[in-house]
Structure 1
Amino acid sequence: MNTAGHSEATARRGLELTPFRGLRYDPDRVGSLAAVTSPPYDVVVRPDGLHHLQSADPYNIVRLILPQAPTAGARNEQASDTLRRWQSEGVLATDPEPGLYVYEQRDGDGMLQRGIIGALRVSDPSEGVVLPHEDVMPHVVADRADLMRATSANLEPLLLTYRGDGSISSTAELVERVAGQPPLLATTTEDGYSHRLWSITDPADLARVQSDLAQHQALIADGHHRWATYRRLRTEHDSPSPWDYGLVLLVDTARYPLRVRAIHRLLHGVPVADALAALKGRFRIQHLPVSLPEALGALADSACAGNAFLLAGDGAFHLVDRPDPDLLARTIPVERPVAWRTLDATVLHSTLLDHVWDIPEDDPARIAYIHDTAATVEKAERDGGTAVLLHPVREEVVRDLARQGVTMPRKSTSFGPKPASGLVLRTLGR
């Protein structure tokens, strides 16, 4: 089986997933597997979450995916040196033979997710094999590319989804059978999620999975910047090479539906009073002296009727809805599909950020993107900024836009649960 890569000219259309020799923590060399894992790099709530993970274990994966140093160059050099040292010390060890990996997550509420981790051929957008649904920020792609170049590794998998027909396909049957066997590893992280990992190395099983997946396209659920990074790095290396492929987790959402949540915004240095003052006469504003769950319920009700946002940071919640139609007509591009023009994220970026608040969406000194709702509110209250909370978009809307080739505004959705970082890595050679 060829795992090195294929040229674009000979690659078949469809998902092309290949086995690889996973790099994994030796459980005898770390405090616990749970203590060395992390959420994906862009979900870690910094700086508090970063410091917590760094102190959890000296070998926590966050030291690779979010290295800390005064300059970008020093950070990437530190990550590279750390990865080499952990490999030489045996903290991280390479599996003896190439395989695909069945990955399972469970939580205490009965949620079960299973998927397959492998090295996916990095396709061009024109092929329609991997569908993005969000725009990316160039500086983030550049940052991730620098880190991957320095480490010559895919340090954490993207989350991709595909839609099976809901029946027991050859892949689904294999995943279920493998999940009934003893795992390579099992751990429960502090968020209450249990994680298990198995390897598939039998050539016949690998061929079944590859043949089945070759009939499908995938939607990027989480990891747009890393996919864009894979594409950039692929162009920098002659094909075939390991850079033709990138580490992904593929989940069949016909069998294991994902949860879709919003990604919220934190406006630095913008008091809630100032943010609201700029909206007067342009949106309806309702002050809600209620708890966060009640405020989110009011947001959900209002979002059913049109664009709505929840502002917080001053100890209360403020429902902002019913935008002025003339304002929307002046600020939102008319050439885009109606489904795109009416998205809350579109109105937030095109109308509020660009025209009302005048905040660049890609300036980390002015705006932050946070997945956790309560954390967004707490940081706004602590820092004197404004939390802008959004209601999540339905998965079918996301998929329909992606199939039309229409990308949503940056950081519009959060699909989950996301794979834990640190369970399996992929090295690309130096």
Structure 2
Amino acid sequence: MKTAGHSEATAHRGLELNPFRGLRYDPDRVGSLAAVTSPPYDVVVRPDGLHHLESSDPHNIVRLILPQAATPGARNEQAAETLRRWVSEGVLTTDPDPCLYVYEQRDGEGMLQRGLIGALRVSEPAEQVVLPHEDVMPHVVADRADLMRATSANLEPLLLTYRGNGTTTATADLIERTAGGPPLLETTTEDGFRHRLWSLTDPADLAAVRSDLARQQALIADGHHRWATYRRLRAEHASPSPWDHGLVLLVDTARYPLRVRAIHRLLHGLPVGTAVAALRGHFRLRRLEVPLPEALETLADAACAGNAFLLAGDGAFHLADRPDPALLDRTIPADRPAAWRTLDATVLHATLLKHVWHIPEDSPDRIAYIHDTAATVEKAERDGGTAVLMHPVREEVVRDLARQGVTMPRKSTSFGPKPATGLVLRALDL
């Protein structure tokens, strides 16, 4: 439903990042902060990664974001009860004052990312304030919405990027100055990333951030389903309400460029031999008896010249490139920009899945989306399916399409590093 409050909100333009009272783990009540964190819910490789996280600490955040029970309703009820219990027991405690959080991630290879975590005003699509670049799956949005309603919480921030001038904004200077002081928390997760968090409570600092961001537009780097969920829940509640905002991490990629990686597909019930045979006559095919890193290098070289994919699952790699132009003309919609028509993800979904392999893209029992390359190959070999490995899209292509209002096929990109889930939560009933 639309309300007068929502109509009034659309008069604002630009990003509006608000302070909130974060809900955080008490380090004295858990084994370690690293042991209670998790990757975002859609990055956890299931069931292996899920079981690993559950066993790492009885209070791992995965018990909230991916609760395990017999039915969806039972899962959400369990997550809500777990959250209430952890708060009542003091495992999770609320910061005393509303604040924005400066968040830093650093690895051992020189990767440094800093940004702001806050409660972002949820805008309407017509406002062009937050730009999606991928389609979403309705059943995933429904699932996330049910979980957020049950817990009355934003359990993990989505990742948004914007383009500042890279050096002289008040927000950039404030983040750098804050990162020079002692953090609220510091931990290193098993992937080698060090995470640090600081709070911003000074009214002058918060006003400077608000002024800077009021002129900015953001791109969703990670969390399309959570953003669609925020919008659905905002529409369900009369404004003003806590549902007018959603938890985000906002990063200036002019200053801190993100890595862009591909999201791979695991096709259940399609053996590699069958998949490769169906491509004969439509793509050039080459069998590669090489290790995974070398196969990915070959894929990268082939992708420079056009659409290319690596198929795996039988102990080798099969490079499929140089698609038949007539096949593409026949299967790819002609009413989209050329940059969209030539995306690997477009060719995969519109041509391979739909017309060559005849796999509906909205069938979660047939297609799994996995970020980890080695895990995709291993699961394909173990399950007898086909891993389709993708080459990443450049960030500028993603941003240009988003500004044109053109969405890419679902799960086309993986921006990172992604924020660790569990460092700060937002309870909507505070």
Q: TM-score, normalised by structure 1?
A: 0.98
Instruction: List aligned pairs for 1:372-383, cutoff 5 A.
Output: 372-383=372-383
Instruction: List aligned pairs for 1:213-232, cutoff 5 A.
Output: 213-232=213-232
User: CA offsets, 1:81-100, max 9 Å, x none?
Assistant: 00000000000001001000
SS in 2 for 1:21: coil
- Alignment of 1:136 with 2:136, yes or no, is yes
Cα deviation for residue 198 of structure 1 reads 0.4
Cα deviation for residue 363 of structure 1 reads 1.3
Match of 2:123 in 1: 123
Instruction: List aligned pairs for 1:94-105, cutoff 5 A.
Output: 94-105=94-105
Structure 2 counterpart of 1:279, one-letter code: L
Cα deviation for residue 269 of structure 1 reads 1.3
Structure 2 CA distance, aligned partners of 1:360 and 1:151?
32
User: CA offsets, 1:102-133, max 9 Å, x none?
Assistant: 00000010110000000000001110000000
Structure 1 CA distance, aligned partners of 2:318 and 2:420?
34
Match of 1:234 in 2: 234
User: CA offsets, 1:284-338, max 9 Å, x none?
Assistant: 1111111111111111111111100000010000000111111111110000110
Match of 2:37 in 1: 37
Match of 1:54 in 2: 54
User: CA offsets, 1:141-187, max 9 Å, x none?
Assistant: 00000000000000000000000012221000000011011100000
Match of 1:271 in 2: 271
SS in 2 for 1:186: strand
Structure 2 counterpart of 1:91, one-letter code: V
Match of 2:86 in 1: 86
Structure 2 CA distance, aligned partners of 1:71 and 1:360?
25
Report the RMSD for the aligned CA atoms in angstroms: 1.0
Structure 2 CA distance, aligned partners of 1:9 and 1:382?
54
Instruction: List aligned pairs for 1:300-315, cutoff 5 A.
Output: 300-315=300-315
Structure 1 counterpart of 2:27, one-letter code: P
SS in 2 for 1:53: helix
User: CA offsets, 1:48-102, max 9 Å, x none?
Assistant: 0000000000000000000000100000000000000000000000100100000
Match of 1:187 in 2: 187
Structure 2 counterpart of 1:65, one-letter code: I
Structure 2 counterpart of 1:405, one-letter code: G
SS in 2 for 1:360: coil
Structure 1 counterpart of 2:190, one-letter code: E
Structure 2 counterpart of 1:223, one-letter code: G
Structure 2 CA distance, aligned partners of 1:319 and 1:273?
13
Cα deviation for residue 8 of structure 1 reads 3.9
Moved over 2 A (4+): none
SS in 2 for 1:405: coil
Structure 1 CA distance, aligned partners of 2:429 and 2:47?
32
Structure 2 gaps, min length 5: none
Structure 2 CA distance, aligned partners of 1:68 and 1:428?
23
Structure 1 gaps, min length 5: 1-5
Count of matched residue positions in the alignment of Structure 1 and Structure 2: 426
SS in 1 for 2:318: strand
Distance 1:8 1:204, change over 3 A: farther
SS in 1 for 2:78: helix
Structure 2 CA distance, aligned partners of 1:75 and 1:358?
33
Match of 1:3 in 2: none
Structure 1 CA distance, aligned partners of 2:168 and 2:106?
20
Instruction: List aligned pairs for 1:5-24, cutoff 5 A.
Output: 7-10=6-9, 11-24=11-24
Structure 2 CA distance, aligned partners of 1:219 and 1:401?
11
Match of 1:162 in 2: 162
SS in 1 for 2:8: coil
Structure 1 CA distance, aligned partners of 2:60 and 2:168?
37
Structure 1 CA distance, aligned partners of 2:214 and 2:303?
38
Match of 2:392 in 1: 392
SS in 2 for 1:40: coil
Cα deviation for residue 7 of structure 1 reads 4.2
Match of 1:176 in 2: 176
Structure 2 CA distance, aligned partners of 1:290 and 1:59?
41
Match of 1:362 in 2: 362
Structure 2 counterpart of 1:36, one-letter code: V
User: CA offsets, 1:352-407, max 9 Å, x none?
Assistant: 00111111112121110000111100111111110000000000000000000000
Cα deviation for residue 429 of structure 1 reads 1.4
Structure 2 CA distance, aligned partners of 1:87 and 1:122?
27
